[in-house]
Structure 1
């Protein structure tokens, strides 16, 4: 690594394969962060030893979370070992669903919106998956990595640029991957543009803008959508 490396270049490198903290929808290139020689290496191509059983802690069991929890229960070698939600009845639903699918009953954490912290501290997990409301994604991912777990989250990964950099730095410091689980970030067009940027075809990018064209008003204002 160079003696002094601009964080813009570091972020471009980290984003190549979705490792480190990949943040979509935020203009990061204008940040003047720099990293010294002593800074931990980026997480690109950092291997994680394979395991026969991957234990997952799941936070947020609403509409999206319920779907993902079922999907995880169908993956061989994946065990949802802990669930967390502010509504105890959702945690009970998750426990029942997992047991019916042939899995051990998971631990449940329902003592308020920050009980994910206790889950991250107490449970022996490999990965923490967040399907909680947007503003909780970064805090949950940070708590996971600081307690030795990899982190995965629904979009968006963070609400502020400072949170984005904190996610990158914590991922590097604790050597834990952090990934935003959104197919639109890693599809053909997105990876094509990323490759063109890294090859320098557009020169040095100094500003970036993007939008998420998805009208969520009906869903956000629905009294039942997130807890069917």
Structure 2
């Protein structure tokens, strides 16, 4: 059986995908695309024997089985739809789309295609998040009812290119209010609850660090799930502070989880069935062997230098396995839209002073 032939659109993030796909048995990157000729030349200088294109349509023509969409956010839905219309499998960077209309169009394209769509929400593959999900499924937290996710990452240095021109990050994300980039925080927490968000309330701190930006320095999105649980999501991509791109917490009737706030701290849990007292925290890693597969307990060499704490490698490997074996992908179109839609609806809430806005059930579309 031939290897899965992969094409990659967008080389800024795509070059990292290339490295991870190169480590996975059963797949090979055969073509890449970027409108920036210089980016392609830099890629060719480092990696040979791969077709390069400046046009996305040419990439789709290159006899590929699957395409990785690592393009700027506004192209995600459009490029995914074009691939699905040709029955080419899609692994798309987050978020899935930027408008409700595009969400509907994307869902329609998936339904009409013979190919699969997966959103590349790599944070769902981070080892600690997988462990918590497995622990929830085993019931060690009891009934869970509250979670938090935070993505604090000052990216103002990426708002202009080397020529001083504004990038898509500035043009598409800083010129509107709302939780514009929330799936890294919301995806893993929704994965724990295994349900969707029904209502969102969104408020912002105002713009202080770069006063010209419409997007608030800190944006808070409160999510009420269909079964009544509460999830608090915080996004901040401009404040002057050290990064913390992976803070989470979880509360249940029999236990809780806290991710580190600062480097050097440990992921910790308190579990009624494991602790000797109500004040005894445990190191989450002490429970890995009970709640994780062996390769997530002791990382293989291939994962050690993969981005996002090894998660990118495991995500790519899982995508290749699912497509090659014709099994459903883990983050399908429904989960992708359930992770994406709350952020899109938060834009309506924040401009109306935080009123609750209902999130549609995409499984009924």
Q: TM-score, normalised by structure 2?
A: 0.37
Residue of structure 2 equivalent to 1:139: 78
Q: What per-residue deviation string (whole Å, max 9, x for no partner) do you get for residues 4-61 of structure 1?
A: xxxxxxxxxxxxxxxxxxxxxxxxxxxxxxxxxxxxxxxxxxxxxxx54011110000
Residue of structure 2 equivalent to 1:10: none
Given candidates 47, 52, 64, the residue that maps to 1:108 is: 52
Residue of structure 2 equivalent to 1:56: 6
Instruction: Please state how far the C-alpha of 1:164 moved relative to its aligned partner.
Output: 0.9
Distance 2:50 2:225 in 1: 50
Distance 2:98 2:238 in 1: 17
Q: Which has the higher contact order (CA 8 A, sep 6+)?
A: 1
Unaligned ranges ≥5, structure 1: 1-50, 100-104, 219-228
Residue of structure 1 equivalent to 2:344: none
Given candidates 55, 58, 67, the residue that maps to 1:118 is: 58
Unaligned ranges ≥5, structure 2: 134-188, 198-223, 241-365
- Relative to structure 1, the CA distance from residue 61 to residue 209 in structure 2 (aligned partners, 3 Å threshold; closer, same or farther) is same
- Relative to structure 1, the CA distance from residue 196 to residue 83 in structure 2 (aligned partners, 3 Å threshold; closer, same or farther) is closer
Larger Rg: 2
Instruction: Please state how far the C-alpha of 1:217 moved relative to its aligned partner.
Output: 7.5
Report the 3-state secondary structure (helix = DSSP H, G, I; strand = E; otherwise coil) of the residue aligned with 1:213: strand
Residue of structure 1 equivalent to 2:39: 90
Report the 3-state secondary structure (helix = DSSP H, G, I; strand = E; otherwise coil) of the residue aligned with 2:87: coil
Q: What per-residue deviation string (whole Å, max 9, x for no partner) do you get for residues 76-105 of structure 1?
A: 222111110011122233334333xxxxx1
Q: Is the 8 A contact 2:190 2:196 kept in 1?
A: no
Instruction: Please state how far the C-alpha of 1:158 moved relative to its aligned partner.
Output: 0.3
Distance 1:169 1:210 in 2: 30
Instruction: Please state how far the C-alpha of 1:214 moved relative to its aligned partner.
Output: 4.3
Q: Is the 8 A contact 1:73 1:98 kept in 2?
A: no
Q: Is the 8 A contact 1:117 1:140 kept in 2?
A: no
Given candidates 207, 212, 215, the residue that maps to 2:237 is: 215
Residue of structure 1 equivalent to 2:111: 172
Residue of structure 1 equivalent to 2:262: none
Q: Is the 8 A contact 1:57 1:129 kept in 2?
A: yes
Distance 2:17 2:9 in 1: 11
Q: Name the count of aligned residue pairs.
A: 152
Instruction: Please state how far the C-alpha of 1:196 moved relative to its aligned partner.
Output: 8.7
Q: TM-score, normalised by structure 1?
A: 0.58
Instruction: Please state how far the C-alpha of 1:173 moved relative to its aligned partner.
Output: 0.5
Distance 2:227 2:95 in 1: 22
Instruction: Please state how far the C-alpha of 1:145 moved relative to its aligned partner.
Output: 0.8
Instruction: Please state how far the C-alpha of 1:74 moved relative to its aligned partner.
Output: 2.1
User: Is 1:69 aligned to residue 13 of structure 2?
Assistant: no
Distance 2:32 2:40 in 1: 6
Residue of structure 1 equivalent to 2:190: 190
Q: Is the 8 A contact 1:80 1:106 kept in 2?
A: yes
Alignment map for 1:153-168 (pairs within 5 Å)? 153-168=92-107
With 144-153 and 188-197 compared, the bigger mean Cα shift is at: 188-197
Report the 3-state secondary structure (helix = DSSP H, G, I; strand = E; otherwise coil) of the residue aligned with 1:147: coil
Give the number of the structure whose residues are more often strand, by fraction: 2
Residue of structure 2 equivalent to 1:42: none
